[in-house]
Amino acid sequence: MERLVVISNRVAVPKARGVAGAQGGLAGALNAALKQHGGIWFGWSGQESESAADNIHLQRNDGVTTATIDLSSRDVDEYYNGYANSTLWPLFHYRLDLTQYERETGKGYERVNERFAECVTPLIEPDDLIWVHDYHLLPLGERLRARGIANRIGFFLHIPWPPTRLFVSLPFHERLVRTMLEYDLIGFQTDEWRESFLHYCRKELGAEVEEDSGAIMFEGRTTIARAYPIGIDWDHFQSQGESDEARAAEQRLLDSTRHRTAMIGVDRLDYSKGLPERIDGIGRFFDQHPDRVRDLVFIQIAPPSREDVQSYQQIRMLLEQKTGQINGARSEVDLVPIRYVNRGYSHAELYGFFRAAKIGLVTPLRDGMNLVAKEYVAAQDPDDPGVLILSRFAGAAQQLAAEGAGAVLVNPYSPDDIAHAIRVALDMPQAERKARYDVMIGTIRDDNVQAWTRRFCEDLAATRND
């Protein structure tokens, strides 16, 4: 098996490991991928330092070698807070209203991609498979090629790819996609995002595209684009579920919500997650069923994320305001309808909380996949499972809500739809909950992160047949 070199902006360095914090799905998934495959993981340390020296910090832990570099505060500003998270992230989540286009941050993005290429090149051996991840590093493959790296290079996008009509609002969009066609294989979470990418290549670049195989022929090179829906680390998550920590967390939630149904949401505090809209839906439910305030308690775990970016500061304020309004209007001296928590928990604790909660609410406005939806279901008691309420705009909906079974699908923009789904979930008989759980659990268990890694790496190794 070829050695794997994984490159991503965020690296799960050991001190952050085990604590979910605000990490998101990428770091956990890549950690599992590397444990399985062996190899090295290169990326940003998460630290800022101004020293010009390209110090690479190597660390070995649990069979995974991480190699990280610090970024200067200007790099963090322009590349991470700027182009990646104020331009690409909102644009790729269909939020043109929040997208900023600044030439300076675009230059910073290119500069940091070049720096990544420069620092990782000496670590690459001729037979390595190189696997680049996510929107921070779209042009990295081309930067590596410019340094003479002839290895197979794959890329996986963890977030949606926007429709062509939105994407062309990005200045230099063509230049960016041309760089991506230096990859041998490009993976997307769902067919929907893959089709948007193929559409762009055909319409805007005039590339020759084979729909079925995903082959894109352009200027003498072939790139393959396919969908690889990411999964959870099933075995690891189940082993966490067997720990004392998980059992204690479950008991803690059950003890504190006696006689009431616990409904849970766990999301990074991000506008793509539809949190204010979710709170509006819960408010609508209480307006329609005031007598049920004593039946239901909603727990929203929302660790803050990307706090230096203005749109994140605004969404946090809005959420605090909406939560405060509902709690002010609906609380009693002995009862608070919404518990809003700005911190992360370990995987074991989340497992326990999920198991104690009879409804999981996952209602992003747009999401590449959303692994919380899968984890919620994975933590349920198979004989008495809870109900997953899932946004039709999460990538996970394609796997978990096939043909009207599985998750209860909602339009996250509609408070009435969310309110209705909550009522349906609260009143759902055990037999239907079990039937819906049975539809979802097979794909969650089998299409796990190890299967995802295997599929992508096998396909990458098979590209180019040279």
Just list the catalytic residues: 158, 367
Q: What are residue 224's DSSP bridge partners?
A: 185, 215
Q: Contact with ligand G6P (CB under 6 A): which of 4, 26, 253, 387?
A: 26
Interface with ligand G6P includes 152 (CB under 6 A)?
Answer: no
Interface with ligand G6P includes 397 (CB under 6 A)?
Answer: no
Interface with ligand G6P includes 306 (CB under 6 A)?
Answer: yes
Interface with ligand G6P includes 134 (CB under 6 A)?
Answer: yes
Q: How far apart are CA 92 and CA 193, in angstroms?
A: 10
CB of 367 to ligand G6P, least distance (A): 9
Interface with ligand G6P includes 24 (CB under 6 A)?
Answer: yes
> Minimal CB distance to ligand G6P: which residue?
24
What is the residue-wise DSSP string for 296-358? EEEEEE--B--TTSHHHHHHHHHHHHHHHHHHHHH-BTTB-SEEEE-S--BHHHHHHHHHH-S
Q: How far apart are CA 346 and CA 236, in angstroms?
A: 13
Least Cα distance to 445 among 238, 250, 246, 267 occurs for 238
- In this complex, which beta carbon is closest to ligand G6P, that of residue 138 or of residue 397? 138
CB of 15 to ligand G6P, least distance (A): 15
- In this complex, which beta carbon is closest to ligand G6P, that of residue 10 or of residue 17? 10
End-to-end CA separation in angstroms for the chain: 17
Interface with ligand G6P includes 367 (CB under 6 A)?
Answer: no
CB of 189 to ligand G6P, least distance (A): 10
CB of 158 to ligand G6P, least distance (A): 4
Q: What is the largest CA-CA distance in the chain?
A: 71
Interface with ligand G6P includes 305 (CB under 6 A)?
Answer: yes
Size of the site for ligand G6P (CB under 6 A): 12
Three-state secondary-structure class, residue 73: helix
Between residue 154 and residue 183, which ones bind ligand G6P under the rule CB under 6 A? 158-159
Between residue 315 and residue 344, which ones bind ligand G6P under the rule CB under 6 A? none
Interface with ligand G6P includes 190 (CB under 6 A)?
Answer: no
CB count in 10 Å sphere of residue 456? 21
Asked if 372 and 264 count as a contact pair (C-beta separation under 8 A), the reply is no
Task: Using the CB atoms, write b or e for 119-132: b if 16+ within 10 Å.
Answer: bbeeebeeebbbbb
- For ligand G6P, the binding residues (CB under 6 A) are 10, 22-27, 134, 158-159, 305-306
